[in-house]
Structure 1
Amino acid sequence: MASLITSIASGLWYHTVTAFLFTKSDIKTTLIPISILATVSAPACSLSSIPHAVFWIWLHLLQFDVSNQTLDPEEDKNNKKDRPLPSGRITFRNAIILRWLLVPTCFALSLYYSLQVFWASVALVFFTVLYDECGGHAGHWAVRNFINACGFASFEYGSTLIARCDRTSLDGAGIVSVMCSFGIFFTTIQAQDFKDTEGDRLIGRQTLPIVVPFIARYTVIAGLLSWSAALTLIWEVDVMTSLSFHALALLVGVRFMTLKSVPQDQVSFYLYNVWLSAAHALPGYWRSYAAV
């Protein structure tokens, strides 16, 4: 009996680590910023709702990442060897099975919360298929940015609903926060593409840094500073917080313009996600201070 329990525990741990490795690279870029937005954009009914929202985000992120990483497993063998497919933790066939089993799993979990959360899940799966299986990831940069932004908005809409007492609708602040986030992703998500330019060029992707490399770096600083100004007005941020937020945007933007090696672009993208998390936290500032 003891050996059976040990074997089951070992198997569960193995598969848990495998699932984590599928999503590992997107924890800082997706899970953390969207969890922050969901937590602060909704007047949470209790702290117990936050783990529900975070798990919902992670499960849908797993669905997206398994889909994305089964598109071209050979691509990850060179620069992302710790992922489950190139490391041999899971076979390609089993990954495909997992990819499509996750879809009804996401739907069922979402329907448990509300019909509105279910539709957010449907939208997220739709944009995943459009981005991955239908080739949106390799299309024109504007189409790629648009699909990315729609996918992130679906993440945010569903998770913010879960964080609320009323899981059937968002209030005005919640709607504005999701709309602003959509705009941020649509205009600045190319920040993630600079570090991957060489690999993207080899497989024919038309990202903004490939199509117009010089202009692309200016779009990041312009987008960050513009959104910093807009968000501080929308969420009625005080002067010192606004200056700090703008300083962070300027730091990230200047780094993208002046430091252009792959390792430097990776660090700049990490800092971009710090700015993004701060941007997603501003609705919480408004709820805590300006709206009092």
Structure 2
Amino acid sequence: MLSQALESGRRISWHIMTLFLFTKSDVLTVLVPITLSTFAAAPHPDVTRVLDIIIWIWLHLLKHDICNQMQDPEEDQKNKPYRPLPAGLITAQNAADVRWLLLPVCLIFSATYGIKALACSAFLEALSIWYNEFGGDETGLSKNLLTTIAYATLELGATAVIGSSIDSIWVHAVAFSSVVFATTIHAQDFKYEEGDRLAGRRTLVTLFPDFARTSMMIGIPLWSLCLSRLWKVDLISSIAFIAYGTIIGARFMVYRTAGAHKQSCKLYSLWYTLVHLLPGYWRFFNST
């Protein structure tokens, strides 16, 4: 009996890990920043719903990522061999079954938090279909635009999940984080440059690599300065934040190996997470 229970536990753990690997690359770039941003930007967050937010965001990421990774599994053999499809952890048919099973799961789960969360869930599905099945990811412009809209929708949906109202600070926070995301999102494309070229995908990095690197070198420190002023960050913290952004921007220009790109992307993800915490800084020190 004990051996059967242990075997069942191992199988369940294996399936959970398989699902997690679909979303692994989005944990630091999407799940963590949006979770933190929801509590930092929302005027009246319910802190008891932190697990609710994580589950809601992760389910929608999982649904989108399965659909996306089914489109071109051969590309992942080069860029991300750890993912379930190229690693042989799941068949394409089983992945498709899970993807369509998640659609009603996400909608029903969202409906328990109200009409706003449900509307965000439905809109995310429409964006996912456009992105994955109607060529939304084939050009850098459409890819970045759809990703930015989806990011803002996740933030709105997460805010609905915690039952918070929306005020001008939240609007500014989401607007600026979305613009920052749209203008720096190609940071993630550097580590996939070789695979994108092989797949013929037209991104800013593959089409204009020098411009892409220059934009990171200038854009990240510039955004660090502007956001520090916008959210009235103290002088010492502003200098540290701007210095960190300058180091990251310089890395994209100076270090150009695949390994360096991966490290730069990790540092960028941390920087972008800090961007999402700045509205919380303002609320704590400046809100009346």
Q: Secondary structure at the match of 2:86?
A: helix
User: Are positions 1:52 and 2:52 aligned together?
Assistant: yes
Q: CA deviation at 1:226?
A: 2.8
The one-letter code sitting in structure 2 at the alignment partner of 1:16 is I
The one-letter code sitting in structure 2 at the alignment partner of 1:152 is Y
- Normalising by the residue count of structure 2, what TM-score does the alignment of the two structures yield? 0.94
In the TM superposition, what whole-angstrom CA distance separates every residue of 1:128-155 from its partner, at most 9, and x where no partner exists? Answer: 212111111112x222211111111111
Give the Cα separation in 1 of the matches to 2:130 and 2:215.
25
- Normalising by the residue count of structure 1, what TM-score does the alignment of the two structures yield? 0.93
Higher relative contact order (CA 8 A, sep 6+): 2
Identify the residue that residue 245 of structure 1 maps to in structure 2: 241
Written as runs of structure 1 = structure 2, the 5 A alignment for 1:48-127 is 48-127=48-127
Q: CA deviation at 1:56?
A: 0.9
User: Are positions 1:157 and 2:166 aligned together?
Assistant: no
Q: CA deviation at 1:9?
A: 3.0
| Contact 2:231 2:281 survives alignment (8 Å) | yes
User: Are positions 1:211 and 2:235 aligned together?
Assistant: no
Identify the residue that residue 174 of structure 1 maps to in structure 2: 170
Q: CA deviation at 1:44?
A: 4.6
Identify the residue that residue 197 of structure 2 maps to in structure 1: 201
| Contact 1:160 1:174 survives alignment (8 Å) | no
User: Are positions 1:283 and 2:282 aligned together?
Assistant: no
Q: Secondary structure at the match of 1:223?
A: helix
Q: Secondary structure at the match of 1:89?
A: coil
Give the Cα separation in 1 of the matches to 2:213 and 2:167.
36
| Contact 2:43 2:166 survives alignment (8 Å) | no
Deviates more, 1:50-59 or 1:169-178: 169-178
In the TM superposition, what whole-angstrom CA distance separates every residue of 1:80-134 from its partner, at most 9, and x where no partner exists? Answer: 2221112222111010111111122111111110111111112222222121111
In the TM superposition, what whole-angstrom CA distance separates every residue of 1:39-74 from its partner, at most 9, and x where no partner exists? Answer: 211145442111111111111111111111111112
- Cα separation, partners in 2 of 1:259 and 1:45, compared to 1, 3 Å: closer
The one-letter code sitting in structure 2 at the alignment partner of 1:170 is I
Give the Cα separation in 1 of the matches to 2:194 and 2:77.
15
Give the gaps of 5 or more residues in structure 2. none
The one-letter code sitting in structure 2 at the alignment partner of 1:173 is I
Number of equivalences: 288
Give the Cα separation in 1 of the matches to 2:223 and 2:128.
26
Percentage of identical aligned residues: 39
The one-letter code sitting in structure 2 at the alignment partner of 1:89 is L
- Cα separation, partners in 2 of 1:217 and 1:45, compared to 1, 3 Å: closer
Give the Cα separation in 2 of the matches to 1:232 and 1:183.
15
The one-letter code sitting in structure 2 at the alignment partner of 1:230 is C
Q: CA deviation at 1:6?
A: 4.2
